Homo-oligomer: A and B are copies of this chain.
């Protein structure tokens, strides 16, 4: 089992050293150091989070809330550094998703993946 943890730490380090992560970190620092950008992004994230929490509780967001979220999304999209940051977050998130798929392959072979046509039960 210790080998599993060693390999996890090696993977973690290679993720930290990757260009994708280093670029994400740089953009993150740029936003943190720009008071206006930081406030804009914080507001956007808070509105997103509130919407998600509502939906998780089975509540329907109001039309006003949806409009507000869309307007904030358009605003942050027009901010160059924030939009680059969000693109970079998407890239890193895709890598993490791929990595999770690779790691859980042994489990999928046991339990089957319902999305995989080979595993129709």
A residues apposed to B, CB below 8 Å: 1, 3-12, 14-21, 24-25, 28, 56-59, 92, 95-96, 98-100, 102-107, 110
Copies of this chain, how many?
A: 2
A102 touches B9 (CB 8 A): yes
Inter-subunit contact A106/B12 (CB<8 Å) = yes
Q: A1-B19, A4-B11, A24-B110 are in contact. Are A103 and B92 (CB under 8 A)?
A: no
Chain B nearest CB, measured from A5 CB (Å): 7
Task: Assess the B10–A7 pair: CB atoms within 8 A.
Answer: yes
CB proximity of A88 to chain B, nearest CB, Å: 11
The CA-CA distance from A58 to B60 in the complex, in Å, is: 12
A-B contact pairs, 23 of them (CB 8 A): A1-B20, A1-B95, A3-B17, A4-B11, A4-B14, A4-B18, A4-B99, A7-B7, A7-B10, A7-B14, A8-B98, A8-B102, A8-B103, A9-B102, A10-B10, A10-B11, A12-B105, A15-B103, A21-B106, A57-B58, A58-B59, A92-B107, A96-B104
